[in-house]
Structure 1
Amino acid sequence: MINVAVGAGILSMPYAFSLVGWELGLGLTVCLAAVETLTMNVLCFFAEQTGATSYSSLVEKALGPRAGAVLGVLLYIYLLLSCTAYLMIAADCLCPLLAGAFGPGLWGGARSAVVSAVGLGVALPLSLPRTLGAVAGVSTFKVWAVLFVVGAVVSGSAGALGDPGYPWQSLHAAVGGPQELCVALPILAFGFQCHTAAIDVFNELAVPSPAPTAASASSAEQSSSSGGGSRGAGAGLSPKLQSMAGVGAASFGAMAAFYCVMGLAGYLALPGGMDSNIMNSYPPDYQLMQFARAAVGAIVVAAFPVNHVPARSTALDLAARLAGGTERDRAAMQSDGAYAAETLLFCGAATAVAVSVTDLGALFQLIGGTAAAALMFGVPGALLLQAALERPALEQHQQWSRLGVFAAGAALEVLTLASWGATLYNMYGRD
């Protein structure tokens, strides 16, 4: 779970803290971790109820094929924008490295040239194969690279705090208004997005069956005699769901602590203001950050094809449905030509957007406030609303009030709509 969520989004955590202040930033991070832990548990609960094996299959089984198609579009947009962010980060990492090695006048150090070279010269060839053998070791390396970046920022923070002339007056516990809050919240929320992989983790979770005891046998006999099943009125969640709840709480708690350290350390290191990508706020002669740039540049390039593979599968599946959904249509979408065409379009679109957009924080705000918000809050909210209004699934857990389930689902839907509205207005609606 942690390996899925922790990644490029961590680079904008200090920027989010600078927008709202250190105290409010810490509080929002903890609150978002709690809410997203709950929504992940909602997804796993309904996955067990429906027998779904993936996020997309859960939506299709629980909410219908139309909802599944809408989810497919959202997933594709989310993955496309995520890969666009990877190209932007790669350029932000490589440009200072090139400038430090060959001088600032090197034409290849121009951002647009670096983005194009990485997107079309590196990411495209890596994305063409159907398998990910070329980047199989990226997951482990990613964790160590991110830890190295955090260490570099913490080191810079310690050095800054030791300066007698440190501008303590520039630090604020809570600062900014609604506009800054609308920018910071999607960035912070995006850092916890691992919901699309939660059901895969849940299905792979092995929970040993506890040995029956005299007390449990007596309880089961009483439940049977009263007409209730093993999941009756007094029964709790299944052992597997309980185990997943523990995994989720531990994972999101660790991520929250990790992000709090990164956000607070970055804010303390650069209290006078910073770039939306924390690494851009350090000069090329800061050697520790140069090593961090090289590591992050490598992992985001390798992460591009990792994210593109599910995007390609989603796009080709949607195309097969639009073509008629027959076996012949599905077979046509599995051809080498279809794979190559989608890969060219995907890499070309990601490169074009990365060339034209320079603000990483704005892109994370767009991703987190729209597509990611729908995946993290909108879909769990819809599942709760449908369960409260139409389906008897929750009758097996009568300790959950139907009214409470409805209220929780409605709150998540309001949160999703508010996130979309505030994000789009903040980015495009203001003068």
Structure 2
Amino acid sequence: MSLNGDALRESYTAVDGDDSEAAPLLPNGSGRTRAKGASFASSVFNLMNAIMGSGILGLAYAMANTGIVGFSLLLALVSVLATYSIHLLLKLCDETGINTYEDLGRRALQKPGKYLVAVTIIVQNIGAMSSYLFILKSELPAAIETFMGPNQTGAWYEDGRLLLILITVAVVLPLSLLTKIGFLGYTSSLAFFFMLYFTVVIVVKKWAIPCPLPHNATTLIEASQVSNSSDSECTPKLFVISSESVYAIPTMAFSFLCHTAILPIYCELERPSKTRMQNVTNVSLGLSVLIYFISALFGYLTFYDKVNSELLQGYAYLQRDIMVMVVRLAILLSVLLTVPLIQFPARKALILMFFEGRPFSWFIHIVTTLGILGVVLTMAIFVPDIRNVFGVVGSTTSSSLMFIFPSIFYLKIISQSFRTFESIAAILLMIFGITMGIVSMSFIIYVSVQGY
């Protein structure tokens, strides 16, 4: 999941503390002038930009623990359900004229519904920021060592936690304290192209890394991941069921979440109509599925069951490779500048919950910023594996925003009878979201406890 400039503007407006309903889409003949909207292609790009994010780094690990066919089936299932839940949101928007997720929550469940959605978005964004900072923690030492040379063993910059604290204080915090950071929305667009380049590198470098890895690779990758490698472990598996399989669907849910950006993109679409926006959604999700599948497949076929939960770490074997160096720096740069962008709507929602209606205060602004970054930094430092972020956030807030809330809102606002096809489908989607969340979270807790 990532957040582009459109999503940022939507989140900023949606939690602005105004209890009035959001302005509806301007109907034809309303007498009001509507600015020329975004083209179909531009809307597709904006939505893909909102979809693509750090989740791409965990999909190869999901494939390694579900198998190629198992992963393909789950990926298709999640993408189809995500498309249908977006269909429900678009129908709600057309029916009510509401164009923000939070206000849909208020319309369906009164004021508590608005706060419920706001809290969910806050937790979701905190999880996303944690995943980005985790990438900085794991990749920044290797990136610095690449340029400093291998003879600096024991140097201070090899401590990822120390580097993460320094970078957060020196770069992330000052950018996060800005009251207007719309210019950082452009970095999200750059991040999208970096993900495309990352996918190309994965495909190209599949033939540059041998399997099994040579013995000296243990100096670059953890020994537990490469020890006892054999030719039999270099055979792709079609189906896999293990304790790690439980992370697959939550990771996919985390990766496909774009629902808070759907309605504002719809409002900005040229000649907006539900059918036209649904086509934008279908194209965006289809292309995202293709990119996700290619990156996961070739990442898995490179490392097989030794694939890392954060895929980029595995390419330490090609430490001095120019393409790998460039993609590592590109992702680190996009991650570094995207964290303040994602923090912005989270802070706005937090202020809405506790200080709604108050005039702007630098004290509140600074305290909430420090509080959010403190939680995010603590999670990034002490969470041992990025799969935990994907698993926990994906099974709770992502499943709520993607599956549960659209279904409940539709049933509360529009549905007149639970016997219609649309209502039955919404009920099934809600049941799937709740079941997936409970089962995934239960198994994640069980696996974590067993690990200790």
TM-score using structure 2 length? 0.80
Indicate the SS of the match to 1:155.
Answer: helix
**Counterparts in 2 of 1:355 and 1:161: CA distance versus 1, 3 Å:** closer
User: Distance between the aligned counterparts of 1:160 and 1:272, measured in 2?
Assistant: 14
**Residue 62 of structure 1: how far off its partner (Å):** 2.9
Q: 1:173 maps to what in 2?
A: 238
Counterpart amino acid of residue 122 in structure 2: Y
Q: Determine if contact 2:411/2:426 at 8 Å carries over to the other structure.
A: yes
Cα deviation per residue 1:148-193 (whole Å; 9 max; x = unaligned)? 2111111111335899x9757531011114x433211111221111
Count of matched residue positions in the alignment of Structure 1 and Structure 2: 381
Q: Give the structure 2 partner of residue 47 of structure 1.
A: 93
Q: 2: distance between equivalents of 1:264 and 1:140?
A: 24
Matched to 2:246, the amino acid is C
Shift of 1:41: 1.3
Question: Would you say the 8 A contact 1:126–1:134 is kept in 2?
Answer: no
The Cα shift of 1:139 comes to: 2.5
2:207 aligns to what SS in structure 1?
helix
Question: Which digits, 9 at most, give the CA deviation of each residue in 1:298-342, with x for residues without a partner?
Answer: 001111111111111101111135xxxxxxxx234x212111111
Which residue matches 1:76?
A: 122
User: Which of 165, 169, 187 does residue 138 from structure 1 map onto?
Assistant: 187
Q: 2:143 pairs with 81, 94, 97, which one?
A: 97
List runs of 5+ in structure 2 lacking aligned partners.
1-46, 213-229
Partner letter of residue 258 of structure 1? I
1:303 aligns to what? Answer: 338
Partner of 2:384: 358
Select which of 303, 306, 325 maps to 1:290.
325
Q: Deviations over 1:50-109 (max 9, x none)?
A: 111211112212332111111111111111111111111112221101222333421122
- Mapping for residues 16-27 of structure 1, pairs under 5 Å: 16-27=62-73
Deviation at 1:118, TM superposition (A): 2.0
1:385/1:405 contact within 8 Å kept:
no
Query: Which residue of structure 2 aligns with residue 192 of structure 1?
Result: 256
Q: How far is 1:406 from its partner? A: 2.9
CA distance in 2, matches of 1:33, 1:360: 22
Could you list the per-position Cα deviations for residues 177-219 of structure 1 after superposition, in whole angstroms to 9, with x for gaps in the alignment? 4x43321111122111100110111111121xxxxxxxxxxxx
**Given that residues 234 and 304 in structure 2 are in contact (C-alpha distance below 8 angstroms), is that contact kept between their aligned partners in structure 1?**
no
Whole-Å Cα distance in 2 between the matches of residues 286 and 274 of structure 1?
Answer: 19
1:28 aligns with 2:92: no
Cα deviation, residue 353, structure 1: 1.1
Partner of 1:337: 363
1:200-215 superposed matches below 5 A: 200-207=264-271
- Structure with the greater alpha carbon radius of gyration: 1
Q: Which amino acid aligns with 1:17?
A: M
Q: For residue 178 of structure 2, what is the aligned residue in structure 1?
A: 129
Residues 66 and 418 of structure 1: CA distance in aligned 2, closer, same or farther (over 3 Å) = same
Stretches of structure 1 that go unaligned for 5 or more consecutive residues are: 208-238, 322-329, 395-400
Change (3 A) 1:374 1:288: same
Equivalent residues of 2:61, 2:307 under 8 A apart: yes
The residue matched to 1:52 in structure 2 has which SS? coil
Of 157, 169, 182 in structure 1, the residue corresponding to residue 246 of structure 2 is 182
Given that 1:120 and 1:351 are in contact with CA atoms closer than 8 Å, whether structure 2 keeps it comes out as: no
Taking structure 1 as reference, are residues 133 and 39 closer, same or farther at Cα in structure 2, changes over 3 Å only?
Answer: closer
CA distance in structure 2 between the aligned counterparts of 1:18 and 1:281, rounded to whole angstroms: 14
Counterpart Cα distance in 1 of 2:303 and 2:211: 13
Residue 64 in structure 1 maps to residue 110 in structure 2:
yes
User: Aligned partner of 1:331: which letter?
Assistant: R
Contact 1:383 1:409 (C-alpha < 8 Å) held by counterparts: no
Q: 1:37 aligns with which of 69, 75, 83?
A: 83
2:421 to 401, 404, 413: 404
* Conservation of the 8 A alpha-carbon contact between 2:251 and 2:394: yes
Quick one: which of 376, 379, 387 aligns to 2:402?
Answer: 376
* Structure-1 separation of matches of 2:209 and 2:233: 11
RMSD: 2.2
